Structure 1
């Protein structure tokens, strides 16, 4: 199934069922009004929703309307939990290498995760409002999963059963604020503002054989100011799969339905695929030339993040955003 949340003037939006080809949509208030309401009773409501989804794709829903991505909020406009990992350890290794820092061996066996703010996500086509370009504004193209209720201590072997939805992510980062925060030894806060998610969330079965081993085996395509920036394959060089990430996050706490777990910046050892954030490209420039030549984002810059199937059809819709000055 494919699902979205339309902006209806309320914080959590209106749950919409979206056709596989992203052309049609229909509200389903008789089943659930919001995405969170659906996730809270997923096992009960999914079979009912599946029947309507099949009818929608067969052109049998008379109340269907044209799907409009500009009306979409992030699928979960706010969430009880947003934890972002760093599953592509070669990306971490590269960043540390550029600043001459050794990487602990435990990074290859124990996932890195930070807890992000989840009270307000940016809509996928809304502007990214920032007060200053001096903060080092960066995008991070990622994938995230959404879970149902996950028990504390779930094993990696069983954690995959709790993954109900997949989304794309732009994990907005403020690179020039990160060093000062990390130096305090207490992690990210100001340097990780609101993130944004794809217009559509999908059930893993929508990917067919591209969803294997709790990984998405497709390129994630990023454009910066309409130029291709990178298309690394999300299924390649992912050290920790989503089941492992979910189990890691749930080691010492249960997760409530609607918890979002991110992959971290998608990165391949094959650098010909490009990058999924400006920081990685800058690190490669430092290693090659001794200095970074690519600037961070400035007001007016645009980023577009999207994933396509083998027929070049968009799967999740596009995160398509501009950076603008925050109106003080």
Structure 2
């Protein structure tokens, strides 16, 4: 299945299932919404028993494209998870996944603006595969991991590098400004995506290709990440995991390239759709 949502940031959302022709069908009569609560209550199983063609065409004209899942409780991240990105950064391949967090307030729609604060100086981009947890995961094996995954999403893990690298403390401060986690446009379930560890990915700034990669160069694949994290924490329905980025980030260029007001960022992953954001003053 491919799931999406429409609606204003602070208003009610229309949860939709895309039919065989890519038409958004209103699924609110079946699940109410897609989010941590409905996922925990078996929303995906309910939808699997419904023919999308039997649902009404959603009234989405002029409506904002929202994240495909309602606000997650937690946003987790994996750093330096692409072998070619680690080489670009001049860093050793980590022996275990490097884990950190983004504030949940970073969560926004796939085409929402990237906010530029006057205190920023090194704003950067990162196209990433996102994992959405479907049911609680604690101390699970790699073989069990896919059963705990609701689906996969496209993410731009926006980062302010001066705050992340040059200020004291952990990476979280460079990752947690509002709208630093554009997510969507669709949530694609594991049965629909095919081989999630072989997806092409790309990102452009103002029409110039910056990142070209493939999830096949991930050091730790999706199943390994979920199993590994479940050793240390209980992953909850709706939790989002950002799994790292391929080479081509602004920080890795010589000289570095940073986003500025008015820049347009577009990105995509095979089967997961595309995003478009404009950098605007706060």
The more displaced of 116-125 and 160-169 is 116-125
Displacement of 1:256 after TM fit?
Answer: 1.2
Aligned twin of 2:15: 15
Matches within 5 A, 1:24-103: 24-36=23-35, 37-42=37-42, 45-52=43-50, 54-56=51-53, 60-61=54-55, 63-65=56-58, 71-86=64-79, 87-95=81-89, 97=90, 103=92
Which residue in 2 is equivalent to 1:295? 257
CA contact (8 A) 2:105 2:176 kept: no
Contact residue 69 and residue 199 of structure 1 kept, 8 A:
no
Change over 3 Å in CA distance of 1:135–1:77 after alignment to 2: farther
Larger radius of gyration: 1
Trace 1:111-260 onto structure 2 (pairs within 5 A): 111-132=97-118, 134-181=120-167, 183-184=168-169, 186-193=170-177, 194-208=180-194, 210-211=195-196, 215=197, 217-235=198-216, 237-260=217-240
Q: Quickly say closer, same or farther: Cα 1:245–1:119, change in 2 above 3 A.
A: same
* TM-aligned CA deviation for residue 231 of structure 1: 2.4
Q: Which runs of 5+ in 1 are unaligned?
A: 268-274, 286-291, 309-314
Q: Are residues 151 and 51 of structure 1, via their aligned partners in 2, closer, same or farther at CA, if it must alter by over 3 Å?
A: closer
**TM-score (norm. length: structure 2):** 0.88
Q: CA RMSD for the aligned pairs?
A: 2.4
What is residue 306 of structure 1 aligned with on the other side? 268
Relative to structure 1, the CA distance from residue 90 to residue 227 in structure 2 (aligned partners, 3 Å threshold; closer, same or farther) is: closer
Name the SS of the counterpart of 2:130 in structure 1: strand
The total of aligned residue pairs comes to: 278
Structure 1 pair 296–244 and aligned structure 2 pair: CA distance change class (3 A):
same
Gap regions ≥5 residues in structure 2: none
TM-score (norm 1): 0.77
SS at match of 1:79: coil
- Dislocated runs of 4+, deviation >3 Å: 8-12, 65-70
